[in-house]
């Protein structure tokens, strides 16, 4: 079934008041999200003591941006097969945002050292 057909069915159900019968879709997870990138994102969020959904969320609060940039840098390091466009899909961002985040980490890596150390130690301990 095409997405246009699905959207038309959902619109009719909504308008008829029967929208509650629709199944709840699974959370969006890009095709480029592989087990290693997922693990790195979880570890980076844990090292920064923030939930994963906030790390991947839209907020630009400083307490979230730095761990997000560190996670982008780490996923780029460990998943070199991903293009910047695919990396952007993983983080639900535009590829230029990913480029900027990685550049920020490269410019001052000391700000991110605690996240790097925690994630690298876990990855090394798991044999990844």
CB–CB of 67/38 below 8 Å?
Answer: no
Give the range among 18-22, 72-76, 93-97 with minimum mean pLDDT: 18-22
Residue whose entry in the numeric block shows the structure tokens 């999200």: 33
Give the contacts of 69 (CB within 8 A, at least 6 positions apart): 101, 102, 104, 105, 112
pLDDT tens digit sequence for 65-80: 999 999 999 999 999 9
Whether 96 has a pLDDT exceeding 70, the answer reads yes
Please indicate, yes or no, if residue 21 is contained in any of the structural domains. no
Residue 95: CATH number of its domain: 1.10.1750.10
Please indicate, yes or no, if residue 12 is contained in any of the structural domains. no
Please indicate, yes or no, if residue 8 is contained in any of the structural domains. no
Please indicate, yes or no, if residue 73 is contained in any of the structural domains. yes
CB–CB of 72/87 below 8 Å?
Answer: yes
- Cα–Cα distance for residue pair 95/117, rounded to 1 Å: 26
Q: Find the angle CA(85)-CA(88)-CA(93) to the nearest 5 degrees.
A: 130
Whether 22 has a pLDDT exceeding 50, the answer reads no
pTM: predicted TM-score of the whole model, two decimal places = 0.74
Alpha-carbon distances, residue 95 vs 36, 43, 85 (angstroms): 20, 22, 5
CA 85 to chain centre: 13
Domain extent for 100: 35-126
Number of domains in the chain: 1
Please indicate, yes or no, if residue 113 is contained in any of the structural domains. yes
Q: What is the pLDDT of residue 8?
A: 56
CB–CB of 108/72 below 8 Å?
Answer: no
Please indicate, yes or no, if residue 29 is contained in any of the structural domains. no
């Amino acid at each position: 079934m095409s997405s246009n057909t699905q959207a038309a069915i959902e619109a009719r159900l909504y308008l008829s008041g029967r929208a509650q019968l629709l199944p709840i879709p699974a959370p969006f997870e890009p095709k480029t999200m592989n087990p290693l990138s997922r693990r790195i994102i979880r570890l980076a969020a844990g090292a920064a003591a923030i939930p994963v959904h906030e790390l991947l969320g839209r907020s630009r609060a400083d307490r979230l941006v730095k761990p997000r940039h560190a996670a982008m840098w780490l996923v780029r390091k460990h998943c070199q097969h991903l293009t910047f466009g695919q990396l952007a899909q993983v983080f639900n961002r535009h590829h230029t945002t990913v480029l900027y985040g990685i550049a920020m980490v490269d410019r001052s890596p000391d700000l991110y050292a605690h996240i790097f150390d925690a994630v690298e130690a876990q990855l090394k301990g798991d044999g990844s």
